[in-house]
């Protein structure tokens, strides 16, 4: 699973931390010059080697940058000028780049040392000009493969649809299944069965994303820390440890209550099953009971197996079977359940907003969890408007024959949130 949480559900190209915005920030003149020169870079006319520092070029080859620029041009036309420039430090800024048919939100970081080459670039969102709910739905319908989304008003009993498309059709979730685990933990805390400060030991390492896979075996950690890492950076080892701590049967019960698929695999189990053709076939052909038996029978082997980090190799693998599934409508109900949980639960969900900061600032609260792997993208937001109204925005895009564009999908969901903020 990809590090969508870390990348704000966009293409991360920032290699240095971006400063926090503050009043009275005085940008260096070189920052404005680099910002103005970015238009040519995004149009494919700029000098890649002199614009970007070597540290950036090592991580983001020219071909990758060109592909991203091409995706943007296909979506909103050719870049034209910098419409807005907000310095977040002397050497970093948030930009709005005007395109022929819309805008792109960008974060730019430059090296303080001459010649002030760009060390970081983050495309945080796109929006067409004169956006509308109808335009948003039309673009979801035009996505290749399969997709679905729903925007819902909360706080009136069941979530009330504002706009939806294939919202009752189940789809692969990727790491968004971790919200089931969070919901079960919140339930156990509310019931007095567990406390946020309970200490457990880190379990068997999974593959990234995350950091706990690098920690010493048996390291002590609180369940609140596990939940925080699971949601904010999509830590797979934290997820597996927490799922085992809570009990698979109880997490299964929560997933079923939330309209999700069962049994709920750990991430280690998912990697192991996808990486073994025989296990993949058995899982795909099996009933719920057969899948539970398969996990039980292979538990000891999977617990100590060497996981293959190249299992995806950039292509979709069994996304129609070896996955976690739920519909947008079901995910909206789950988000509403989490809205009613305690303050700690909501705080954990708000650490990574998963959307363009300019959009996030239009809300009083943004909770988020996304998920993805090659061929799968899903983004789920719990938001509170400045006037106190609550909404859920949840969407998915998947195809078994090819990867899907993170930039394009993140842009669609960012637009959905912007439209909600404007209500």
pLDDT at 76 over 60: yes
Of the candidates 148, 5, 124, the one whose C-alpha atom is nearest the C-alpha of residue 68 is 124
Domain boundaries, the chain: 29-128, 132-423
Contact 412, 359 (CB under 8 A): no
Of residues 7 and 420, the one with the higher pLDDT is 420
Residue 125 — very low, low, confident or very high, per pLDDT cuts 50/70/90? confident
Contact 140, 164 (CB under 8 A): no
Looking at CATH, the fold of the domain delimited by 132-423 is given as: Beta-lactamase (3.40.710)
Q: Can you say how many angstroms the Cα of residue 64 is from the centroid of all Cα atoms in its chain?
A: 20
Of the candidates 149, 245, 142, the one whose C-alpha atom is nearest the C-alpha of residue 202 is 245
Task: Indicate the pairing of strand 325-326 with strand 171-172.
Answer: antiparallel
Q: How far apart are CA 421 and CA 359, in angstroms?
A: 8
Of residues 362 and 17, the one with the higher pLDDT is 362
pLDDT at 263 over 90: yes
pLDDT at 199 over 70: yes
Of residues 13 and 102, the one with the higher pLDDT is 102
Of the candidates 209, 213, 252, 249, the one whose C-alpha atom is nearest the C-alpha of residue 231 is 209
E strands in 132-226? 146-154, 160-165, 171-172, 199-201, 220-222
Residue 127 — very low, low, confident or very high, per pLDDT cuts 50/70/90? confident
- Cα–Cα separations (whole angstroms), residue 291 to 240, 254, 273, 376: 18, 18, 11, 22
Q: How far apart are CA 245 and CA 184, in angstroms?
A: 11
Of the candidates 233, 303, 212, 232, the one whose C-alpha atom is nearest the C-alpha of residue 266 is 303
Average pLDDT in the 165-190 region? 99
Q: What is the DSSP string of 129-148?
A: TT--HHHHHHHHHTSSSEEE
Entry pTM: 0.84
Contact 267, 240 (CB under 8 A): yes
Radius of gyration over every alpha carbon of the chain, rounded to an integer in angstroms = 22
Convert the pLDDT of each residue in 234-261 to its tens digit: 999 999 999 999 999 999 999 999 999 9
Q: How far apart are CA 200 and CA 246, in angstroms?
A: 11
Q: How far apart are CA 202 and CA 337, in angstroms?
A: 27
| Exposure string over 39-65, b if 16+ CB within 10 A, otherwise e | bebbeeebebeebbbeebbeebeeeeb
Q: What is the dotted CATH code of the domain comprising 29-128?
A: 3.10.450
Convert the pLDDT of each residue in 80-111 to its tens digit: 999 999 999 999 999 999 999 999 999 999 99
Residue 313 — very low, low, confident or very high, per pLDDT cuts 50/70/90? confident
């Amino acid at each position: 699973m990809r590090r969508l949480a870390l990348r704000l559900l966009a293409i991360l190209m920032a290699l240095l931390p971006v400063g926090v915005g503050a009043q009275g920030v005085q940008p260096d003149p070189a920052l404005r010059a680099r910002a103005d020169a970015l238009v040519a870079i995004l149009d494919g006319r700029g000098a890649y080697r002199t614009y970007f520092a070597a540290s950036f070029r090592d991580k983001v080859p020219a071909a990758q940058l060109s592909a991203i620029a091409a995706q943007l041009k296909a979506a909103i036309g050719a870049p034209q000028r910098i419409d807005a420039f907000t310095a977040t430090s002397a050497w970093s800024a948030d930009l709005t780049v005007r395109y022929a048919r819309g805008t792109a939100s960008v974060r730019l970081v430059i090296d303080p040392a001459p010649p002030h080459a760009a060390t970081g670039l983050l495309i945080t969102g796109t929006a067409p000009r004169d956006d509308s709910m109808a335009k948003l739905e039309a673009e979801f319908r035009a996505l290749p493969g399969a997709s679905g989304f729903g925007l819902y008003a909360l706080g009136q009993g069941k979530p009330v649809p504002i706009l939806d498309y294939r919202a009752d059709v189940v789809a692969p979730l990727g790491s968004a299944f971790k919200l089931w685990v969070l919901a079960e933990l919140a339930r156990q805390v509310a019931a007095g069965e567990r406390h946020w400060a309970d200490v457990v030991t880190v379990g068997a390492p999974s593959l990234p994303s995350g950091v706990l896979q690098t920690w010493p075996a048996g390291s002590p950690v609180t369940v609140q820390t596990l939940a925080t890492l699971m949601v904010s950076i999509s830590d797979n080892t934290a997820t597996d440890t927490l799922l085992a701590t809570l009990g698979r049967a109880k997490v299964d019960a929560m997933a079923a209550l939330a309209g999700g698929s069962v049994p709920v695999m750990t991430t280690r189990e998912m990697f192991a099953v996808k990486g073994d053709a025989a296990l993949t076939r058995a899982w795909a052909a099996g009933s719920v009971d057969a899948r539970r038996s398969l996990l039980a029978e292979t538990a000891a082997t999977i617990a100590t197996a060497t996981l293959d980090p190249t299992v995806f190799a950039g292509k979709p693998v069994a996304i129609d079977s070896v996955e976690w599934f739920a519909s947008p409508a079901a995910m909206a109900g789950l988000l509403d359940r989490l809205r009613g949980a305690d303050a700690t639960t909501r705080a954990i969900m708000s650490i990574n907003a998963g959307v363009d900061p300019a959009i996030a600032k239009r809300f009083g609260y943004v909770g988020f969890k996304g998920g993805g792997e090659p061929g799968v993208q899903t983004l789920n937001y719990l938001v509170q408007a400045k006037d106190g109204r609550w909404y859920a925005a949840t969407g998915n895009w998947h195809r078994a024959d090819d990867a899907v564009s993170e930039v394009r999908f993140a842009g669609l969901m960012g637009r959905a949130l912007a439209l909600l903020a404007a209500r």
